[in-house]
A = this chain, B = another copy of it.
Amino acid sequence: MRLSTKGQYAVRAMLVLTLHAMENPVSLRHVSEVEEISEQYLEQIFVDLRKAKLVVGHRGAHGGYKLSRQPDDITAGDILRAVEGPIAPVDCVRHQHGESCQRVNVCITRDLWARLRDSMSEVLDNTTLADLARKAK
């Protein structure tokens, strides 16, 4: 039940984008220095974030990444889903493709995993970047 470093890094990186002026794009080099994360690994992570339309990239000198929406409109859940896929402790309780589990009738524990997923989603979907930024002061 552990979150990958990719997920952790993604949230931290997005928080850096939030804390820095929303106007100017922030370069990965800068994020890398501030958060002590490999710049090239960050690149990979931002491929996912860009595909999920959470950030927009600006090439060239003084380029970088900007949030594509307001910080109060991006949740930790959005970020984790972008880089890690659906938030679901086991495959049979993903919201999409819900019918992947063949022994659904027999599977009593399924309900437990569903409730676990829901409680995880609740926390992650109700925490926005704005919330996190507020705590950082």
Report which A residues bind B (CB closer than 8 A).
Answer: 1-3, 7-8, 11-12, 15, 76, 80, 84, 87-91, 108-109, 111-113, 115-116, 119-120, 122-124, 127, 132, 135-136
Which residues of the other chain, B, contact A108 by a CB distance below 8 angstroms? 15, 132, 135-136
A1 contacts across to B, CB distance below 8 A: 1-3, 7, 80, 84, 87-89, 120
A119 pairs with B112, CB closer than 8 A: no
A33 to chain B, nearest CB (A): 13
Copies of this chain, tallied across the complex: 2
Complex-state Cα separation, A1 to B3, whole angstroms:
5
- Establish whether residues B127 and A112, one from each chain, have CB atoms under 8 Å apart when the complex forms: yes
A109 touches which of B12, B91, B109, B123 (Cβ 8 Å): B12
Residue of B nearest to A87 (CB): B1
Q: List residues of chain B with CB within 8 A of the CB of A88.
A: 1-2
Q: Can you show 26 pairs from A to B with CB atoms below 8 A apart?
A: A1-B1, A1-B3, A1-B84, A1-B88, A1-B89, A2-B88, A2-B90, A3-B90, A3-B113, A11-B109, A11-B112, A12-B109, A15-B108, A15-B109, A76-B112, A108-B135, A109-B132, A112-B127, A112-B132, A115-B127, A116-B120, A116-B123, A116-B124, A119-B119, A119-B123, A120-B120
A91 to B4 CA separation, bound complex (whole angstroms): 11
- Residues in B with CB closer than 8 Å to A3 are 1, 89-90, 113
